[in-house]
Structure 1
């Protein structure tokens, strides 16, 4: 991981990202919902790039055995303090985990921080290696249309950054124009194609079409309706990219 990315996360930004706003809480609740539909009981979960353990914590509370891997030392230190969670410094491209040894792999970060497609394939190959037959991988991507929707809603598209927004929509290359580090933004088809070594691949739109309104109004009263809207169109090919984040689920057979 680059020093730029390490520095970005070293300030604790991930500690509150999914709790400090209605949009963040919507993403968190929808991610929980999608995972809980198919997770087996008492699963052995490898949370790769799991940051400070925002998902590892509730997974452990649900009875799963969770080991978290992250390249940022502060993240690992924080996650290791969570009940039922173990944590270690590591890289998605070279997991220190035995073959065929886990039931679930979470990739909630590696596939957008790894901007080289060869690195993404290496990380996916590592997830496949450590999964048991029948195991599941959940891989997150950022929607290629995120900054278009975000900046279009808050009036942030200007003559200065319009070409940057256009580039990420066309190519997936995000160049830090809206305050985040350099990343790769996916389409749903692209994310599914990258998981082509798995079967039963489904890509979900996480937040659905109402998340820009939550950002604009900062109103928790709208979250329930936003969740219901997201659920209704979560795999609709016409609306899946209205979500800020995509979540792919696939199985190793």
Structure 2
């Protein structure tokens, strides 16, 4: 389950359908935008997120083993890990996303161990210490309550093997503030919004964001992850020094493709540098089970 920072006002009907829980709202959003999710990471700007994420996986994950992709979406990362020879299962709240993942994996001549259509809050069926690595990239974007985020984190810790590695993602309000200059400047007509983004711990309804969502800041995200028992190995800002430069990157891709590639390669290598990682839209925390 991966998202680009897209802000728009969705209809009240979409937000207040027959089911009103956050899970149903988020599930409806991803079911309705399943194909968009597959295509999203392929554009010139968001591709830096994909490349940086793969760089971190290749750098920190074990070379072999059983991986659980929690919030797998249409399987962009799952497919790449299967190509590398990992044993892997996918879990996502959206059945439409999983259908795309199943088709893409089959087209590649590969197979997964399982497709689980459920919320990240429903990890109870997985046995303790079942996985060598876990991707948790997306579910925490949508949980307003700390108790819910902690349940997901503690279950992730429980089902990860000792010394297993996880990649845990949050959306960062500091980076979103930069993106807001070009993507959603109208909300800052109210100057109080600036402080809200600086403070983090931001709970957005589906009328305020792309769907019901939770944005925070690096220090709060790191504290939650530590509270769940994980050892933090590293963390990265996956947009690196290109964060907030969507229009410029798109132009560079179109007019100077070789220079674009040089910027992308350099940004990936710099994604863990302290001067960049705290001010990007997405932060990835690399953890290990003690």
TM-score under structure 1 normalisation?
0.90
Q: Residue 119 of structure 2 is aligned with which of 77, 83, 91? A: 91
Change (3 A) 1:16 1:233: closer
Cα gap change, 1:161 to 1:216, in 2 (>3 Å)? farther
Corresponding residue of 1:235: 273
Contact 1:192 1:202 in 2 (8 A): no
Number of the residue aligned with 1:4: 25
Q: Which of 66, 69, 75 is the equivalent residue of 1:44? A: 66
2:79 maps to which of 50, 53, 57: 57
- Contact 1:202/1:248, CA 8 A, preserved across alignment: yes
Corresponding residue SS for 1:22: coil
Aligned partner (choices 40, 54, 66) of residue 17 of structure 1 = 40
Residue 76 of structure 1 is matched in structure 2 by: 98
1:141-191 alpha-carbon deviations (Å, 9 max, x no partner): 111123321121458246535434542332331425774123121222222
Residue 181 of structure 1 is matched in structure 2 by: 211
CA distance in 1, matches of 2:130, 2:188: 52
| Other structure's SS at 1:80 match | helix
Is the alpha carbon distance of 1:43 and 1:27 closer, same or farther for their aligned partners in structure 2, counting shifts above 3 Å? same
Match of 1:203 among 225, 235, 246: 235
Q: Distance in 2 between matches of 1:184 and 1:64?
A: 31
Separation in 1, partners of 2:265, 2:141:
24
Distance 1:192 1:158 in 2: 28
Distance 1:159 1:90 in 2: 36
Question: Does the 8 A contact of 2:52 with 2:271 survive in 1?
Answer: no
1:137·1:250 contact (CA, 8 Å) conserved in 2?
yes
Normalized against structure 2, the TM-score is what?
0.79
Aligned mates of 1:242, 1:144 — CA distance in 2: 8
Residues 80-134 of structure 1: per-residue CA shift (max 9 Å, x gap): 3312223111221221211111101110011121111110100011111111111
| Aligned counterpart, 1:113 | 142
Aligned: 1:224 with 2:248: no
Q: Hey, which bits of structure 1, 4+ residues long, moved more than 6 A?
A: none
1:67, distance to aligned residue in structure 2 (A): 0.2
Work out which structure has the larger RCO, using CA pairs closer than 8 Å and 6 or more positions apart in sequence. 2
CA distance in 2, matches of 1:110, 1:198: 18
